[in-house]
């Protein structure tokens, strides 16, 4: 079976931590941000782990075994 190529879109959207967790950013981070409260804007800065339902599919896309 041939090697899988890294999906470049997924590579830029997901980040793998040292312990192997796959993290993602929240949506709505950049567009219309001026209208939001400072507390809301700070919440967008955090990375959150992906759901367990998506883990297998995303691991295959970013080639992190």
Output the pLDDT for position 24: 95
Output the pLDDT for position 7: 92
Query: Options 4.10.410.60, 1.10.1200.10, 1.20.1600.10, 3.40.250.10; which CATH number does 8-60 get?
Result: 4.10.410.60
Average pLDDT, the chain: 90
Query: Which single residue is written with the structure tokens 């219309």?
Result: 32
pLDDT band at 1 (very low <50, low <70, confident <90, very high): confident
The 10s digit of each residue's pLDDT in 43-58 is 999 999 999 999 999 9
pLDDT band at 31 (very low <50, low <70, confident <90, very high): confident
Nearest Cα to 32, choosing from 40, 20, 23, 21? 40
Output the pLDDT for position 3: 81
């Amino acid at each position: 079976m041939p090697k899988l190529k890294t999906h470049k879109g997924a590579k830029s959207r997901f980040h793998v931590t040292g312990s192997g967790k796959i993290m993602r950013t929240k949506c709505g981070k950049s567009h219309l941000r001026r209208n939001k409260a400072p507390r809301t804007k700070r919440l967008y800065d955090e990375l959150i782990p992906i759901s367990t339902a998506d883990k297998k599919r995303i691991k295959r896309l970013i080639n992190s075994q």
